[in-house]
Amino acid sequence: MAELELRHLRAVRAVAETGSVSKASTVLGISQPALTAQLKRIERILGGELFERSAQGSRPTALGGFVLNRADALLADMRSLVVSARKHGEGGIPTTLRVGYVPLLIIGSLIEQLRTRLVEVDVQTWAEPAALMLLKLLSTGRVDCALVEKFDGTEAHHYDGLVVRPLATEPIFAGIAEGHPAIKDGQVALEELADVDWVLPPPHENAVRVRFQAACAAAGFVPRIRHYTSEAGTAGTLIAQGAVCLAQAASAPPPGLVAVPFKGDPLWTTLLFAMRDDKALLPMLDEVFQCAMTAYRASIDRNPHFAKWCKDHPHALAEASL
């Protein structure tokens, strides 16, 4: 008779948390057909359906709710056992997790998730705005895992020695003054910004510099880049005076500024989760990755324009991340 495994419980929990098999498969880093087949095996082992499936998503049945309640307790006990064993093992897995990140809006929520789920792990962070430098910090062991934006010009060798999973592929928005004449129906056509000043990160920190130039060329102009800065306060002051920048979709700018989509979504970026391929760290891989996915999903509602975009494009993020 087949036996229930911890990975089965994690799969059931992921479906319950996300409300759909498609979203759960992204969180777990497996294909949707593989997760569907796994759920069918789990249901055969447990003797009944765990979820009611409809156009609105997947909701736990009575049996599913019972299993989830027990699963949460079992997974928490297992995490505690693993952490305790690491502490007592000879040269065991370190109880410190050093998280590197390019400036992303999800970092606060990620730290909260990690401290909740990995209660006995000391979480430390290292901000590094240049993606390639962050990958170097990973490969040299200065940080254990990282949230990094896929950088134009990145090659396969930059990921040597790392386990890399896509976190999300999302549209890039325009950071612009509220009431700017280029904003129409809650979005901005890129060609309408041909005559404005642009504020961008320095080239070595700008992950989409090549894609940005190509998108502007396709829109019929060469961008007038007047300011280079990574400092949000400085950028905000310049934008309030009429300049425009590229913004994370989940940005929640200060009063007077907004982050809105470009018409037709000409620019996209991919967020990656990477961990050193180290046998001391890999037991935490799935748990840390799920914390990152939960933090990412929670960030969407920070910006009502992004929340609306996601509602209007319900499958775009999941499909782009597969």
222 contacts: CB under 8 Å, gap ≥ 6: 213, 216
What percent of the chain is modeled with pLDDT above 90? 52
Measure CA 156 to chain center: 21
Mean pLDDT of 276-305: 92
Which of 21-30, 80-89, 199-208 holds the top average pLDDT?
A: 199-208
Indicate whether 94 pLDDT > 70: no
The CA R_g of the chain, rounded to the nearest whole Å, is 22
Q: Which pLDDT score is estimated for 320?
A: 40
The residue with greater pLDDT, 214 or 153, is: 214
Tokens of 105: 């809006």
CA dist., res. 126 & res. 137, Å (int): 10
282 and 204 in contact (C-beta within 8 Å)?
no
Indicate whether 318 pLDDT > 70: no
Tokens of 169: 């592929």
The residue with greater pLDDT, 144 or 317, is: 144
Q: Using alpha carbons only, what angle is made at residue 139 by residues 287 and 79, rounded to the nearest 5 degrees? A: 20
Complete DSSP assignment for 67-134? HHHHHHHHHHHHHHHHHHHHHHSTT---SEEEEEESS-TTHHHHHHHHHHHSTTSEEEEEE-S-HHHH
User: Residue 280: phi, psi to the nearest 5?
Assistant: -75, -25
Q: Which pLDDT score is estimated for 55?
A: 80
Indicate whether 86 pLDDT > 70: no
Reported pTM: 0.70
Indicate whether 312 pLDDT > 80: yes
Mean pLDDT of 289-305: 93
Mean pLDDT of 83-111: 75
81 and 105 in contact (C-beta within 8 Å)?
no
Mean pLDDT of 253-278: 95
The residue with greater pLDDT, 182 or 30, is: 182
Q: Which segments within the chain are labelled E, that is strand?
A: 51-54, 57-60, 96-101, 122-127, 145-149, 162-171, 173-177, 183-184, 187-188, 197-200, 224-228, 244-247, 257-261, 268-276
| All structural domains of the chain | 6-85 (1.10.10.10), 93-322 (3.40.190.290)
What confidence tens digit (pLDDT) does each residue in 34-52 have?
899 999 999 999 999 999 9
User: Residue 66: phi, psi to the nearest 5?
Assistant: -65, -45
* Helix H or strand E segment including 40: helix 32-46
